[in-house]
Amino acid sequence: MGKINGHGITAYGNPDASIVLIQAVDDHDLAGMETETAEIRKLTAADFCLLAVRVQNWNNDLSPWAAPAVFGKEAFGGGAADTLAEVLKHTADKGKTYYLGGYSLAGLFALWAACQTDVFRGVAAASPSVWFPGFADYLRAHAMHAKTVYLSLGDREEKTRNPVMATVGDRIREAHGLLKAQGIHTTLEWNPGNHFKDADIRTAKAFAWVMK
C-alpha cells in the first residue's frame, strides 16, 4: 500500500502482472475490492494487478467540471483533472497494459479520462453517471482514445424520480451509439436492479470484458 498526495493506493492481484487495472474508489468500494478481484479471476484467466485509488471527495475528485448538486446538497467540484494527473503517475511502465474503470461517478471519470489521454487500452464503465450535466455534449465533441469500452446499467436505474438521473438510460444508449460510430469495440450490458445493487460484481464484469 502506498500514498500519493492524499490519495491512498491499495494493490490487489499480482503486482508484477503486465496488465494493470486502475479504479477510483471510496471507502464503500474498498470494502468490496476483495470480492471484485476474486470475481475478475473467475471471469478471465489473465493475470492482473488492480490498483484501487482512494479519492478524498467523491463529487469533487471525479467530476470533470463543476456542476450544481443533483441529489442532496453537495455540488460537483470539477477536480477530475487533478485525479487523472495522479493516476497517470502509475502508468509510467510502457511494458504494461493499462485499463481504467470504475462504478458510478468513477465510471464517468474513466470515460472522460480516456478522451483526455491514450494511455488506457480499455475503459470499464459500470453504471457510469452519464447523466452528469454536459457530459453527453462532451462525448459528442471528443474522440475516445481507448480501443475497447464496456458500458453497463441497472435496468431500474432510469426509473428514478430524480429528473436529471432519469436521463441515464437515454444517455448511455447514446454513448454506446457514439462509440460504435467511432469504431470502438464496445458493448452495453443491462444488469437487473437499481444503481446500488452488486457494484463489486458489476465492476468485475466490466474489467473482465475489456481485458478479453
Q: What CATH number is given to the structural domain containing 94?
A: 3.40.50.1820
pLDDT of residue 186: 98
pLDDT of 168 reads 87
The pTM of this model reads 0.92
Looking at residue 3, its pLDDT comes to 37
Structure letter (DSSP) for residue 146? S
Tens digit of each residue's pLDDT, the chain (212 residues): 333 334 589 999 999 999 999 999 999 899 999 999 999 999 999 999 999 999 999 999 999 988 877 767 777 888 999 999 999 999 999 999 999 999 999 999 999 999 999 999 999 999 999 988 899 999 999 999 999 999 999 877 788 787 778 788 899 999 999 999 999 999 999 987 666 678 999 999 999 999 99
The total domain count for the chain is 1
pLDDT of the residue at 194 = 63
Where in the sequence is the domain holding 9, given as residue range(s)? 2-211
Per-residue model confidence (pLDDT) at position 153: 93
pLDDT at 169: 84
Please report how many Cα atoms fall inside a 13 Å half-sphere around the Cα of residue 78, on the Cβ side.
7
The residue assigned the cell 451509439 is 177
Name the residue among 109, 9, 26 with its Cα closest to residue 62.
Answer: 109
C-alpha cell at 21: 487495472
- Give the relative orientation of helices 105-116 and 80-88 as an angle to the nearest 10 degrees: 70
Pairing state of beta strands 148-154 and 185-191? parallel
d(CA 53, CA 77): 18
Q: What is the pLDDT of residue 7?
A: 54
Q: What φ, ψ does residue 162 adopt, rounded to 5°?
A: -70, 115
CA distances 96 to 18, 93, 105, Å, are 5, 6, 26
Cα gap 3→17, rounded to integer Å: 20
Report pLDDT for 195: 65
Fill in the amino acid letter for 41: R
Instruction: Check residue 69 and give its pLDDT.
Output: 75
